[in-house]
Amino acid sequence: MSSRGRRRARTVAAGALVLIAAACASTDGVTTDSASARTSTVPTTTEAPAPSEASEASEPSTTDAAPEPTDSGSRSAPDSSGAPTTSEPGQAAAQPIPGSPGTSIDWRRVDEQHDEGTLLVPVDYRDPSLGNFRLYLVRRRANDQDSKIGSLLINPGGPGASGAEFARGARFILAPELLDRFDVIGWDPRGTYNSAPAIDCIDDYDQYLTGVDITPDTPEDRQLNIDRAKQLEDLCVEKNGPILQHVGTNDSARDMDAIRRALGEEKISYFGFSYGSELGATWATLFPDTVRAAVFDGAKDPNADSLDWARQQRVGFEHTLDLYLDDCAQRTDCPFHNGGRTGEAFDELMGEIDAHPLPTRTGRPDLTRGMALQGVAMAMYEDALWDQLSDALADAQRGDGDGLLMLYDAYFERKPDGTWPNLLEAFQVIDCMDSADRPTIEEYDASALEIARVAPRFSPNTVGSYDCAWFPPSEQPRIPITGAGAGPIVVIGTTGDPATPLVGTEAMAAALQDGRLVVVDADQHTGYGTNRCIVDRVHDYLIDLDVPPKTSEC
């Protein structure tokens, strides 16, 4: 498989920007391969010092609880209270869990390789009396326990992706060298997936997403977009009030330190992909004395405002879409070849879908231009999906939108039973509460027009997404990132990354006190596993603490 198939970041072409890297999986109707990767390791530590963040209340040191075998070798189901719940409008679904924060992880043996566990962490680290989140964790134990270095925390991105499932699938993501030497630990960050309470705004994504018109023709159509966005945000605020101000990256970084202390490790290693880079950089800035080693793969510019970041990302996707169209034009066997006029054919098709949405399958909405572009975005993360995209585009030319709908559904991880995880809701809430920005409707629309000028094919939007307009001001926007005192941190960027363009990754490396930039020559999101050079560079650093030069290439 192409290394693009193992991880992907996301952007919502028709709305808010989403940045997610997910473990490779087969999604209904979308095929991706899983590749074996290469990996490495580090020495165990014992004592857990108090947090180094001055503003956080001191908490007791903790130790790792021994895993308890279950009477079945199959995967144990997480505690039912950890599953995302839904509720009727007007009822707050996200209620904190009472009790004291945990001092150890309640591990349960799943099989010969994996444990799953939970850890209570305070909703508000300044006032633990307000209740807790129950984090859901998965640990893949090191293959060689006698030579184990310690734990390697991993995060796939988002915000909102499941780190627990990422750890469960670690053999498809990390190479054996790392799996031999580290216990790989992933967790569902506060408010997401099987951690509880989970962010919950809506049950039916179709109701709020599929009807969005990214190029409305009338003021009335534009107002429908505004009304729909406001209704969604009002529900998010109403149903998540008790946790709303406490699901941001700052508190997730504090959870990372709580996990470290619960494991009893003085210092710990970390590998974050996509948004996981931003999370890791926040953690390294808050708790620099606890960083043994950290790798950030596919990072956004930590200092970019919302417009700059949107512009960087949309230009990245525009570039990758052009690469796909050029590739298809050069291959006469490409189903969307159109006599080599792929660019013109694509633009004509999107215009036709804009005017006349395409029928899909029974019980599902017609395919709009925004939905079609979202499906296209899904395929931009990995060239393994380009053939499927070509088939879908060719079908769309014949009046069948089902192929693009399948890509669209895969993007939002729609399940065969017609339900969705809380991925989009978690992303939107976390992203908005990380930001101090609350643009006006007019500012959103002006930004959309500016972005359309630099990415007209991928982002032809004439109106904004309004994704944070009605959220309350954030009480703690994400802190400025410096990594001061954390030591060298390896930052990986690829030359053709559509979701976290290289310019942003370079800015992340520059923002860190001792960032070590490794540029990988590849047209894909994230670079680990692309070639032997970058794999060895990461392994040498994580296992042996062999620090690469300030800037290098692979």
Nearest of 372, 336, 384, 343 to residue 525 by alpha carbon = 384
CA distances in angstroms from 543 to 40, 182, 185, 368, 533, listed in the order given: 6, 9, 16, 49, 15
Task: Tell me how crowded residue 531 is: count the other CB atoms within 10 A of its CB.
Answer: 15
The rounded distance, in Å, linking the Cα atoms of 23 and 161 is: 9
pLDDT at position 93 is: 67
Known catalytic residues? 274, 497, 525
pLDDT at position 22 is: 35
Nearest of 12, 75, 19 to residue 525 by alpha carbon = 19
pLDDT tens digits for range 139-193: 999 999 999 999 999 999 989 899 999 999 999 999 999 999 999 999 999 999 9
pLDDT at position 92 is: 55
Kindly tell me if the per-residue pLDDT of 50 is higher than 80: no
User: Phi/psi of residue 356, each to 5°?
Assistant: -140, 90
| Rounded average pLDDT over 89-107 | 81
pLDDT at position 297 is: 98
Helix, strand, coil: what percent of the chain each, to 5?
40, 15, 50
pLDDT at position 69 is: 26
- For residue 188, the cross-strand partners are 136
Nearest of 229, 235, 201, 252 to residue 85 by alpha carbon = 201
pLDDT band at 7 (very low <50, low <70, confident <90, very high): very low
Spans of all domains in the chain:
36-200+242-303+478-553
Determine which of 25-34, 107-116, 389-398, 508-517 has the lowest per-residue pLDDT on average: 25-34
Kindly tell me if the per-residue pLDDT of 543 is higher than 50: yes
Which CATH superfamily includes the segment(s) 36-200+242-303+478-553? Alpha/Beta hydrolase fold, catalytic domain (3.40.50.1820)
pTM for this entry: 0.84
In the structure encoding, which two tokens stand for residue 259, read together?
């996990």
pLDDT tens digits for range 196-222: 999 999 988 898 889 899 999 999 999
Q: What is the rounded average pLDDT for all residues in the chain?
A: 85
The rounded distance, in Å, linking the Cα atoms of 411 and 342 is: 23
pLDDT at position 67 is: 29
pLDDT at position 133 is: 98
| Cβ burial, residue 73 (10 Å; 0-12/13-18/19+) | exposed
Task: Specify the residue for token string 């053709």.
Answer: 496
CA distances in angstroms from 50 to 119, 266, 481, listed in the order given: 18, 9, 21
Q: Residues 6 or more apart from 269 whose CB is under 8 A from it?
A: 42, 149, 150, 151, 152, 153, 182, 292, 293, 294, 542
In the structure encoding, which two tokens stand for residue 155, read together?
């995060």
CA distances in angstroms from 149 to 143, 263, 268, 271, 435, listed in the order given: 11, 13, 10, 15, 37
Nearest of 117, 187, 217, 160 to residue 17 by alpha carbon = 160
pLDDT at position 52 is: 36
Q: Residues 6 or more apart from 536 whose CB is under 8 A from it?
A: none
pLDDT band at 306 (very low <50, low <70, confident <90, very high): confident
Q: What is the dihedral of CA 168, 45, 43, 518, to 10 degrees?
A: 70
Kindly tell me if the per-residue pLDDT of 2 is higher than 60: no
Task: Give the rounded percent of residues in the chain with a pLDDT score beyond 90.
Answer: 75
Nearest of 53, 2, 508 to residue 295 by alpha carbon = 508
Kindly tell me if the per-residue pLDDT of 20 is higher than 90: no
DSSP conformation letters of 497-542 = -SSS-HHHHHHHHHHSTTEEEEEE--SSS--TTSSHHHHHHHHHHH
Amino acid code (one letter) for 342: T
pLDDT tens digits for range 218-263: 999 999 999 999 999 999 999 999 999 999 999 999 999 999 999 9
Nearest of 552, 545, 440, 405 to residue 43 by alpha carbon = 545
CA distances in angstroms from 503 to 24, 48, 95, 304, 309, listed in the order given: 26, 37, 40, 11, 10
pLDDT tens digits for range 252-284: 999 999 999 999 999 999 999 999 999 999 999
The interaxial angle of helices 369-380 and 402-411, nearest 10 deg, is 60
DSSP conformation letters of 307-319 = HHHHHHHHHHHHH
Determine which of 69-78, 122-131, 234-243, 313-322 has the lowest per-residue pLDDT on average: 69-78
Kindly tell me if the per-residue pLDDT of 469 is higher than 50: yes
Q: Which residue has the higher pLDDT, 460 or 78?
A: 460
pLDDT at position 73 is: 27
